[in-house]
Copies of this chain bind each other. A is one copy, B any other.
Amino acid sequence: MHLNANVLASGRHDAAWRLSDNPRSVDDVDAFCEIARIAERGTFDAVFFADGPQLAADFDRRPWHSLDPVVLLAAMARATERVGLVATASTTFNEPYEVARRFATLDHVSGGRAAWNIVTSQSDDAAANFGHPRMPGHAERYARAEEFVDVVVKLWDSFEDEALLADPVTGRYADPARVHRIDHVGPAFRVRGPLNVPRAPQGRPMIVQAGDSGPSRRLGARWADALFTVQRTCTEAQAFYAQLKGLAAANGRDPDSLVILPGLYTVVGSTQAEARRRREEMDALLDLDVQVALLAERLNVDPQRLTLDRPLPDDIDGQGGAGITSGFVENILREARRENLTVRQLLGRNPFGGHRLVVGTPEQIADNMERWFRGRAADGFNLNMDAYPSGLELFVDHVVPELRRRGLFRTAYEGVTLRSHLGLPRAPSRYAPASPGLVAATR
């Protein structure tokens, strides 16, 4: 089983930052380094930063993703030795040469622990920081993303493993026969290469992808080593798992080379009552009016039409709501209808983060994870702790030992690189003599 910690600015719970034992500032680098050390103590595969190049709309009410994640992870790399380091970078607002270089550098800085989480971004606020009146459409973003990833991987491959000679006797520093222009010419990019960074310790830094639309699933099945996904029931997760493993196989890949990690939001207590109290303590710090307004925004409905102790109005379809493209809104609506939830009950199900919530003892949480894992709904989990660092510490100190006891999770790191944690081979360069060469250029 593979475990990734989605390091949120303060925690998955919106009021996490108001707990007394949480770091309070979005720019507290030492606190983030400490979080990475805790994840490493728990032999997690990786820590992960979501990201977007814009200030969150609700920045006045709670912490947000702030610091450049690759620069921050470079600092965290030097505070740790094994845990993987995953950062989001957008294919809509960057240049492939820059992204390829930055993640290759992080892989060198961390000794082979870097991963790039591909996103195409959705926020008009982000677009406005890059000269666009609004975001390009979904199809345009994904067409650019496909080409962007193709260029990045070509650049990573452009330096073969044996290219650096650094031979003081002959004075030869590198072998030009093992360094390649990529000469990419496509609809969105013209990039000559080669990259100016020697081949990364992992060969290629790992690639992570999320998103639920058709084009997004195709992108993931082709390029990703790991997928983050929002799945709220085991049945739906099993269907997703089977579909994506099938898509990977259809792309000529070993299905085991695509690691599927549904999100899981946990609140841990030594008894069920203690876990519930922890949750209720945080809930009491939320402003219910704000929560209702946020839900209305998500569902694209007038907040006046939502009543706390009644079900959602029947005519809401979520179209035009924030998050519609990622499948969040459909999931929320389906769940609310299926269980006839009141607005108050729905607010208790984490309708904003999207990921399903389990509140319970270490045994209960491990039971739940084991069921998904053995049921081929998940290869592991993208864990969203209610609060950082306290929720992560509870998980590492109490749930991880329970998973180890059951033989589900490693007791120590076996390898050094993130790929090795996930059981993935080091990626060869397409240009290397032993490889099938340019024929394999699609991946």
Contact = CB atoms under 8 A, between A and B. Distances in A.
Given A131-B189, A131-B191, A198-B26, A173 B60 contact: yes
B67 A105 contact: yes
A196 interface: yes
A327 to B, nearest CB: 25
B71 A102 contact: yes
Contact of A106 (B71, B189, B191): B71
Given A109-B75, A173-B62, A55 B196 contact: yes
A287 to B, nearest CB: 7
Contacts of A94: 95, 98
Interface in A96-139: 97-98, 101-102, 104-106, 108-109, 125, 128-131
A443 interface: no
Contact of A166 (B24, B101, B287): B24
A179 B74 CA distance: 28
Contact of A198 (B20, B27, B74, B190): B27
What 6 A-B pairs have minimum CB-CB distances, sorted nearest first?
A: A74-B74, A128-B192, A68-B105, A18-B168, A55-B196, A78-B78
Contacts of A197: 27, 66-68
Interface of A: 15, 17-20, 24-27, 29, 33, 52-56, 59-68, 70-72, 74-75, 77-79, 93-95, 97-98, 101-102, 104-106, 108-109, 125, 128-131, 164, 166, 168, 171-176, 179, 189-198, 285, 287
Given A59-B174, A61-B173, A128-B190, 11 more contacts: A15-B171, A25-B164, A27-B108, A53-B98, A53-B101, A60-B173, A65-B196, A67-B105, A68-B102, A93-B98, A128-B192
Q: State the number of copies, please.
A: 2
Contacts of A102: 68, 71
Contacts of A60: 172-176
A97 B53 contact: yes
Given A78-B79, A101-B68, A55 B195 contact: yes
9 contacts: A33-B78, A55-B179, A61-B173, A62-B173, A72-B74, A94-B98, A95-B130, A97-B130, A168-B285
A59 B179 contact: yes
A166 B17 contact: yes
